[in-house]
């Protein structure tokens, strides 16, 4: 009976041992699983930390790049604004200069046109005066020519009459001389005809 008690006690002890060992193994397995999970979690955490660090670095780099871009864009904008302001100022100055030159050119053009009109008017007046003077000279010259021609005709008429008188006297004298010399028939010289009248 003692043996039986011992056997039962041993079996019970063995069962407890086995159970304990099983629990220990289970705890070991659980611990191993927990360690693995912890390792994986740590790895994941480290990975996430590394990713977060990389992300933070990228973000910082992005911020720096963005800041550099903003700075560059600001500088470029300021330069563009300065260039634009300078160009606007230059164009405004050129516009003012061009407008001034245009006003001066228009003034000179008007002065030239006025001078041209004045000269044309003076020339027209001079031409009219010259034409009037020419008409007057032509009229006076025609009168002078007509008067000279009239006087010339009068002189020629007087000279003709005198010449005819002289010619008649010469013919009469010649007739008398011939009659005295008896070189011709006196009846041929019954009448002394005057010379042919000149016509002008």
Q: What's the pLDDT score for residue 101? A: 92
Report the pLDDT value the prediction gives residue 99, as an integer from 0 to 100: 93
Q: What is the DSSP letter of 182?
A: T
The H or E element containing residue 199 is none
Q: Among 48-52, 90-94, 107-111, 183-187, which stretch is predicted with the lowest mean pLDDT?
A: 183-187
Instruction: Give the mean pLDDT of the chain.
Output: 79
Q: What is the mean pLDDT of residues 21-37?
A: 80
Q: Is the pLDDT of residue 186 over 60?
A: no
Distance CA 194, CA 167 (A): 7
pLDDT at 8: 66
Q: What is the pLDDT of residues 38-97, one digit of tens each?
A: 888 788 878 878 888 888 888 888 788 888 888 888 888 889 889 989 999 999 999 999
Domain boundaries, the chain: 2-187
**Three-point CA angle 191, 196, 200, nearest 5°:** 155
Residue 183 pLDDT: 52
Alpha-carbon distance 52 to 44, whole Å? 12
Contacts of 160 (CB under 8 A, 6+ apart): 197, 198
User: Is the predicted pLDDT of residue 194 greater than 60, yes or no?
Assistant: no
């Amino acid at each position: 009976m003692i043996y039986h008690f011992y056997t039962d006690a041993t079996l019970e002890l063995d069962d407890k041992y086995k159970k304990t060992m099983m629990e220990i193994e289970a705890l070991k397995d659980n611990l191993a699983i927990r360690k693995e999970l912890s390792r994986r979690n740590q790895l994941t955490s480290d990975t996430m930390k590394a990713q977060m660090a990389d992300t933070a670095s990228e973000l910082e780099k992005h911020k720096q790049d963005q800041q550099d871009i903003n700075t560059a864009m600001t500088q470029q904008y300021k330069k563009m604004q300065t260039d634009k302001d300078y160009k606007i100022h230059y164009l405004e100055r050129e516009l003012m200069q061009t407008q001034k030159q245009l006003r001066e050119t228009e003034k000179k053009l008007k002065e030239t046109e006025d001078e041209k009109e004045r000269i044309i008017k003076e020339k027209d007046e001079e031409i009219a005066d010259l034409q009037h003077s020419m008409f007057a000279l032509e009229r006076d010259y025609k009168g002078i020519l007509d008067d000279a021609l009239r006087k010339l005709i009068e002189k020629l008429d007087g000279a003709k009459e005198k010449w005819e008188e002289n010619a008649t006297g010469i013919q009469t004298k010649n007739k008398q001389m011939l009659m005295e010399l008896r070189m011709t028939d006196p009846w041929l010289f019954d009448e002394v005809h005057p010379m042919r009248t000149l016509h002008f």
